[in-house]
Structure 1
Amino acid sequence: MDRKSTLSIAALMVTAFAVGIDFTGAMLLVPAIELSFDADITSTQWVLNIYALFFAMTMVTGGRLGDMYGHRPVLMIGLMIFLLASVLCLVAPDLITLIGARALQGIGSGLIWPCTLAFGATRIAKPEEQGLVMGLILSGVTIGNVIGPLLSGVAVTLGDWRYFFVANVVLAILSMVTIRTLMPREETHKSGQHLDLVGVAVLAIAVLLLLYSLDVGADLGWASTPIVVMIAVSFVLVLLFPTIERHVKEPLIIPQMLRNREFMITLSLNALQVPALFIALLYFPQYMQKTLGWSAMASAFGLVPMTALLCAGSIISGRLYNDFGPKRLLLSGYVMSALGAVLVVLLPESLGYFQILPGMLLIGIGSTLSVGPAGTAAMSAVKPERAGLVGGLSFMVHLVYGAIAVAFATALMYAASLARLAQQLAADKIDMSNADQHAINGGALATDQAKAAVSHFDTAQVTQIRDALATAFNSGMDMAFVFACLSALVGLVLSAMLNEKKLQSSNT
């Protein structure tokens, strides 16, 4: 690899790092945001889900824009949006404003990420180097995944979760400088392209309705009219999507791709791993803080075994891709992720941190062996000029399914933990109203609502309530990982069905 290519990859790795710290870092901020805005996890999960949704829904458009106008200028525009959104996150006066700023951050990231991948795959890498280059770019984002929680821990330790977004601002500026300085201009672009904004809007509305129904379902009742209507409209939009796409000049998924069995399998494999990884990144820090009583900084270090494996594994899986092929890597990755999720559920609560450590390690290894190879395999199944489209599409599927999985897992977790909390309080002969149980469920008695709910109990009873909350949280987390395991098992079946020879020769 020549010096020019090496410098270009370095520029892309800096940009990937900026995106990487934002994702995992924000997950560790959830308890601090709950406390700051006196909210519960069903509300604060939107800080994560709205980012993932808008990130996902912008990516296909971002990939197409990069193919049409050049990946370098679209990257710069995305970084400018990301910079503005980071400033808004930094000064957000309430949860609604923060959620809106996170949506804008998702749009910026959605322009950045597919162009980063496409530039690396088509403008820098030779065919035999594609796995290595993709691995290096992914290592940039996974190094960010490692550093992000540590930055969050530092911010919370310093007294304000908002300080985390200062790092976003600095890195956005640094990324703009490195892209402008080190990344070469493209001389040719693909002409005659059109954006499928209607398709993106239909999918975005469908997913947003589903996410919102999962958020408020426990409060309004799953059989209530608003929930039933929202879920029904969501499914109708999904069912109408293929019909709408037939009337679009350039649909999100080109018809030949839909008929390409290997491409559709690899596209699915970009998603089915995500629940184990996202649920781990969301709930392990909360488990350490709410159940084990660790500080934000301590829980950031507690997450390092998994994030470090994600970082190292991205480079290793890139090198292994050509030697072992995607099928063996994907099979191994999905086996490890499913086993990791099972261990989280089966190991006893009395082990404390060691209840989650084996699962953390296995999910970390499993993710590195499946996420990168699935994305590379999806892009290898299409023509090079469609790399931007497929780069955006594969991560759109990755993040949309991830957002739905987190929302569904949170709904499961909330219901399971609430039931276990009621059971434990009854066993301890503590009389607490249903409204107060809802107020404290999933928390650590730190918010104003939770403090009000336990204000009339004596010290011994508050201790019992705190212990009941820890037990309830653990039960809810177990249910979330049951769902993660089932998703990984479906991925394992699809990995076994993948035909590598057809994958390499399809090129639609």
Structure 2
Amino acid sequence: MDRSSIVKVIALMVTGFGIGIDFTGALMLVPAIESSFDADITSTQWVLNIYALFFAMTMVAGGRLGDMYGHRRMMLFGLSIFLFSSVMCFVSPSLDFLVIARALQGIGAGCVWPCTLAFGATKVSKPEHRALVMGLILAGVTTGNVFGPMLSGLAVNMGEWRYFFLANVVFSCISMATALILMERETQHKPDEHLDLAGMGVLSFAVLLLLYGLDVGADWGWTSVPLLMLFFISAALFILFPKVEKRVTEPLLLPQMMQNREFRITLGLNMFNVSAAFVGLLYFPQYMQKVLGWSTFESALGLAPLTVLLAVGSIVSGTLYNDFGPKRLLFWGYLIATIGAATIVVLPGDLGYFRILPGMAMIGLGATLTVGPSGTAAMCAVKPERAGLVGGLSFMTHLVYGAISVACATAIMYVVSLSELRQYVAASGIKLTEAELRTINGGTLETPSAHAVISRLSSSEAETVQRALSAAFDSGMSMAFVFSALSVSVGLVLALLLDEKKLHRIES
């Protein structure tokens, strides 16, 4: 690459670094947020899910607006929103306020990310460098994924998890400065584009209702009429979505793109590669803190085999793309990730940290061989002026399914751990009500509600309950990874079905 292209890539990597820090760093704060707001895992998962959902739903619009008005301009707009919402996260007085602030962060990131990808895809000097540039940008994000947990761990060790969001403020300012200084204004736009607000609205509500149903299912009862109605409305909206798409001027899924079987498979490959990684990023730190008794910072270091592989592998997969092709990389990546998720299920709990270490490494390696190549394959299938749209679309499917995976895994984990906890406590002769079991299940004993439950027990009973919680969490996490392993294996089938020779450039 020439010097000008290298400077642009560095600026894009800086922006990606700031986004990467926010995503994984916030995950490490979950136990601290539980304690601060007296919440359980089914509630605090929204810190991840609401961000991923709004990030995903905004990306297609952000990418299309970038195509219309300039990717640099939309990046600066999105970074401004991200900066403001980071301040909101810092001052959050309640969990609901924090969730709203995280949703706004997702909107800001959704404006920034597709334009970052599109800018990288369209501004390189030679088309054959595109895969390398995509890998470098992803490396910026995944390097942020490595440092994010360390920053959040440091913040918690300092006694205040909110300090982490000050780092978001700093990196937002740095990203805005690099965009202003190192990226030139664009002169060619597509002002005739249209936004599919109806399609985005229908799809967003469908996913949101599904996530909410999975959140409250254990409390409402999985066969209760209100919950079944919620799932019915969500399913109806999913069915309505393609009908709405036929009536809008420019739908999210352009017909000429969806007529290409290989492009549809590629979009599927953008989905299923995130299940094990998202579930691992949520539960591995909690396993280290709730079962192994590690501090937040120690857990951040323990997560390094996953996050470091994600960072290094993004560069490697970018350089391998042209030599090996997407099919081969995606097949081996999905196979390794499937085996990695399965090891979490079959390895015994008495191994401690080494129970999750092989799985972390394989899930990280599998993700590096699938995330970049699947996104690059989708973006290389269209004209450069559609790069923003497809960049947003591919990562929309990526994040929406990631949020659904986390919600499904958490619902499974909560039900299984509650059942295990109930049996363990009953076998020990300790009498706790169903409400008290739900209060402590899957969470931390540091919350005020958990303290109220434990305070009436003797010291020996409290120790027994703590052991029961650890065992129940372990069982619940294992079942969550059963779901993840099955989910990732679907991507393995899609990789086998992909015919990369037919992944042609779509005339759109």
Asked if the contact 2:34/2:444 (under 8 Å) is kept, the reply is no
Using the size of structure 2 for normalisation, the TM-score is 0.99
The within-5 A match list for 1:421-500 is 421-500=421-500
In 1: Cα distance, 2:507 partner to 2:137 partner: 23
Distance 1:411 1:361 in 2: 25
- Which residues of structure 2 form unaligned runs of 5+? none
Separation in 2, partners of 1:226, 1:66: 41
The residue aligned with 1:330 is 330
Alignment of 1:395-410 (within 5 A): 395-410=395-410
Contact preservation (8 Å) 2:262, 2:503: yes
CA distances 1:428-450 after superposition (whole Å, capped 9, x unpaired):
22121111000000123111111
Instruction: Tell me the equivalent position of 1:168.
Output: 168
Deviation track 1:206-259 (CA, whole Å, cap 9, x = no partner) reads: 111111111011001112222111111111011011111111000000011111
Residue 77 in structure 1 maps to residue 92 in structure 2: no
User: Is residue 2:140 matched to residue 1:140?
Assistant: yes
The alpha carbon displacement at 1:324 in A equals 0.5
CA distance in 1, matches of 2:505, 2:163: 49
1:290-313 CA-to-partner distances (Å, cap 9, x unmatched) read 000000010000001110111000
Q: How does 1:265-344 map to 2 (within 5 A)?
A: 265-344=265-344
Shift of residue 191, structure 1, vs aligned partner: 2.8
Aligned to 2:241: 241
Which runs of structure 2 are paired with 1:147-226 in the superposition (5 Å)?
147-226=147-226
Match of 1:121 in 2: 121
Is the CA contact (8 Å cut-off) linking 1:132 and 1:318 kept in structure 2? yes
SS of equivalent residue, structure 1 residue 352 = helix
CA shift digits 1:457-480 (9 cap, x unpaired): 111111111000000000000111
Secondary structure of 2:356's counterpart equals helix
Letter in 1 for 2:482: V
Equivalent residue number for residue 349 of structure 1: 349
- The code of the aligned residue for 1:157 comes to N
**1:411 is the counterpart of 2:411:** yes
- Work out the CA distance in 1 between the residues paired with 2:189 and 2:238: 32
Contact conserved, 2:383 with 2:505, CA < 8 A, in 1? Answer: no
Q: Name stretches of at least 5 consecutive residues in structure 1 with no aligned partner.
A: none
CA distance in 1, matches of 2:343, 2:190: 48
Alpha-carbon offset, residue 382 of structure 1 = 1.9
**Conserved 8 A contact 1:87-1:165:** yes
CA contact 1:444–1:466 (8 Å) conserved in 2: no
Find the residue that maps to 2:382 and give its secondary structure.
coil
Q: Distance in 1 between matches of 2:381 and 2:355?
A: 40
How far is the alpha carbon of 1:80 from its aligned partner?
0.2
Decide whether the 8 Å contact of 1:90 with 1:165 is kept in 2.
yes
Q: Report the equivalent of 1:370.
A: 370
Displacement after TM superposition at 1:261 (Å): 0.6
Is the contact made by 1:34 and 1:447 (CA closer than 8 Å) also made in structure 2?
yes
- CA–CA distance in 2 between the matches of 1:302 and 1:40? 23
Which amino acid is the alignment partner of residue 197 of structure 2? L
Amino acid at match of 1:231: F
1:391 matched to which residue of 2?
391
Q: Which amino acid aligns with 1:183?
A: M
Q: How many residues align?
A: 508
CA contact 1:262–1:381 (8 Å) conserved in 2: no
State how far apart, in whole Å, the 2-side matches of 1:34 and 1:353 are: 23
Q: 1:170 and 1:323 mapped to 2: Cα distance?
A: 39
* Contact 1:421/1:468, CA 8 A, preserved across alignment: yes
- Counterpart residue type for residue 406 of structure 1: V
Is the CA contact (8 Å cut-off) linking 1:125 and 1:133 kept in structure 2?
A: no
Question: Aligned-pair distance for 1:383?
Answer: 2.2
Classify the secondary structure of the residue corresponding to 2:35: helix
Q: Structure 1: how far apart are the matches of 2:507 and 2:314?
A: 25
Distance of aligned partners of 1:18 and 1:2 in 2 relative to their CA distance in 1, 3 Å threshold? same
For residue 102 of structure 1, what is the aligned residue in structure 2? 102
TM-score of the aligned structures, taking structure 1 as reference length: 0.99
What do residues 333-361 of structure 1 show as CA deviations (whole Å, max 9, x unaligned)?
A: 10111000010000000000000000000
Q: Which deviates the most, 140-149 or 437-446? A: 437-446
**Counterpart Cα distance in 1 of 2:506 and 2:168:** 40
Q: How far apart, in 2, do the equivalents of 1:305 and 1:253 lie?
A: 36
Contact 1:120 1:134 (C-alpha < 8 Å) held by counterparts: yes
8 Å CA contact retained: 2:85, 2:105: yes
Shift of 1:506: 5.2
Q: Distance in 2 between matches of 1:9 and 1:184?
A: 12
Instruction: Give the match for residue 36 of structure 2.
Output: 36
In the alignment, the residues of structure 1 paired with residue 124 and residue 162 of structure 2 have an alpha-carbon distance, to the nearest angstrom, of 37
**CA offset digits 1:77-97 (Å, max 9, x no partner):** 000000000000000111111
Which deviations, in whole Å up to 9, do the C-alpha atoms of 1:394-448 show, x marking residues without a partner? 0000001111110111000000000011111122221211110000001231111
What is the RMSD of the two structures over their aligned residues, measured on CA atoms? 0.9
CA deviation vs aligned residue, 1:344-386 (integer Å, no higher than 9, x gap): 0000000000000000000000000000000001111222221
Greater than 6 Å deviation, 4+ residue runs = none
Question: For residue 20 of structure 2, what is the aligned residue in structure 1?
Answer: 20
Structure 2 counterpart SS, 1:271: helix
Q: Distance in 1 between matches of 2:379 and 2:104?
A: 27
Cα-to-partner distance string for 1:172-198 (whole Å, 9 max, x where unaligned): 000000000001111111131100011
Cα deviation 1:28-76 (Å, max 9, x = unaligned): 0000000000000111111111000000000000000000000000000
Q: Give the aligned residue type for 1:363.
A: I
State how far apart, in whole Å, the 2-side matches of 1:390 and 1:384 are.
Answer: 10
Distance 1:421 1:236 in 2: 36
Amino acid at match of 1:2: D
Distance in 1 between the 2:472 and 2:438 partners? 12
Residues of 1 paired with 2:263 and 2:134: CA distance?
18
The aligned counterpart of 1:257 is 257
* Aligned-partner residue type, residue 32 of structure 2: A
**For residues 315 and 354 of structure 1, what CA distance do their matches in structure 2 show?**
27
Q: How does 1:54-73 map to 2 (within 5 A)?
A: 54-73=54-73
C-alpha distance in 1, partners of 2:464/2:458?
Answer: 10
